[in-house]
Amino acid sequence: MSICPLEFRYGSDEMKRIFSRNNMVKRMIDVELALAKALEEVGIVPRSRYSELSKCMYSVNIESIDRYERLVGHDVVALLSAINESCGDISRYVHYGATSNDIIDTTWALLIKDALSIIKNKLINIIKLLIALSRKYSDTLMVGRTHAQHALPITLGFKLANYVYEFSNSFCRLVSVESRVVKGKVAGAVGTMAGYRGAGLEVESKVMELLGLRSHEITTQVVPRDSFAELISVFAILASQAERFGIEVRELMRPEINELAEGVEGRVGSSTMPHKANPVECEKISGLSRVLRGLVIAALENIPLWHERDLSNSSAERVLIPHAFILIDEILDTLNDVLSNLRVFPENMLRNLELSKGLIMSESLMLKLTDRGLSRHEAHRIVKELTHKALKSGKDLLSEALSDERILKYLNPEELREALDFKKYLGNYRELIERSIKHAESLISPNQPNQNVPR
């Protein structure tokens, strides 16, 4: 019986496979086998056991593990009991010198490594989609809004390039946190490696080499939980960025604005209002982002464990880590769909740009007057008076300026028209777009090292 919607509604199959029970057990066996091989190579246990163990350990079934766990109440002991049942006497040295979290934490590292590869690839694809859209709409004029009010003209490409930059920052954070969280541990009951007779560092090195991991520098019985909390915090930031874009689409999809819209065909907006086309994909991003941000608190509270460890983090992490990955996976897939099917209405952008009848260009006029000799304070006062007058009369700012002697004293009609031309007050938007894109491409290019990513 499925209860959690992450089982049947959200998350890709590839992500769910990584955190499936079968795969988690397989990865735990991978770690136990790597330890068995390392122990043989170092000479702590007799040789020839590893080859036999590798033939029987993977035949362990979930039902057997569950049966033992009901009896002993310990997941790793249950696994070891099932291995003993499957392999018999040759399992004598399985788990030798190890503690449960050597297996659990190293398994988490393997799972997180695989899952992060998926997340990074999906984020790279989103950044590439945003880059393509930024270039496509680099010159498409629209209103720039602050406090949800008309501010200055921008272009859609400029708006999207800001998201290119934000998401490339999250890519940096993912790469950075990966270097701290994808690490294993084979250090025994309190982290001193006492069970390995002075060869602990060699055992650890061989295990990590076999598994393709690096080891933590030092641990207690468990690896520090700060890197797990950091990972989920990075996911929460990424989800919040995705939500910011989702809110952008939701706001600009309002019928009275109608500049952007979700473009998925055939979706039903309402069970009772056939005309409705709702931004349901972007709203889903918002909803799931709230859940993901909520996981950060539990992840942070897992850091202050007692002394060399207690068990309070364990049950939380069984929920936290798979759910965090499946949530961010679904959020990124949804954002990909939104970007791939984004509808853009340049004609409505131009219509909305002209709603203010030129008032959006008041800063440009003020600065032109300042250039011609007026103090900035005086220029601001005069232009503010003009804008209020235009609002009262219903005329555009150009008409009011052309009839104001204070303005004409400094600017002739042609200069006024130029000062109030939307296209001539976009600053260095093209260079800024390209700078954002080049920065992102330097980070995500497979042919270049990520030199700008902190390690």
The DSSP string of 203-237 is: HHHHHHHHHT-EEPS--SSS--THHHHHHHHHHHH
| Alpha helical stretches, state H, 188-311 | 200-211, 226-252, 280-301
Among 270, 375, 403, 445, which one carries the catalytic annotation?
A: 270
β 343-344/260-261 pair status: antiparallel
Told to judge if 271 belongs to the known catalytic residues of this protein, a careful annotator would answer no
- What does the alpha-carbon distance between residue 7 and residue 13 come to, in Å, rounded to a whole number? 10
> How does DSSP assign 18-49, residue by residue?
HTSHHHHHHHHHHHHHHHHHHHHHHTSS-TTH
Q: Active-site residue 95, yes or no?
A: no
Q: For residue 141, what are the β-bridge partners?
A: 155
Tokens 């190579």 appear where?
Answer: 41
Q: Are 27 and 110 in contact (CB under 8 A)?
A: yes
In the set 48, 147, 275, 307, the catalytic residue is 147
CA 68/CA 17 separation, integer angstroms: 24
112, 123 Cβ separation under 8 angstroms? no
Would strands 149-155 and 214-215 be described as parallel, antiparallel, or unpaired?
Answer: unpaired
Q: Tell whether the torsion through CA atoms of 83, 84, 87 and 92 is positive or negative.
A: positive
Distance CA 293, CA 244 (A): 14
- Residues with a known catalytic role: 147, 270
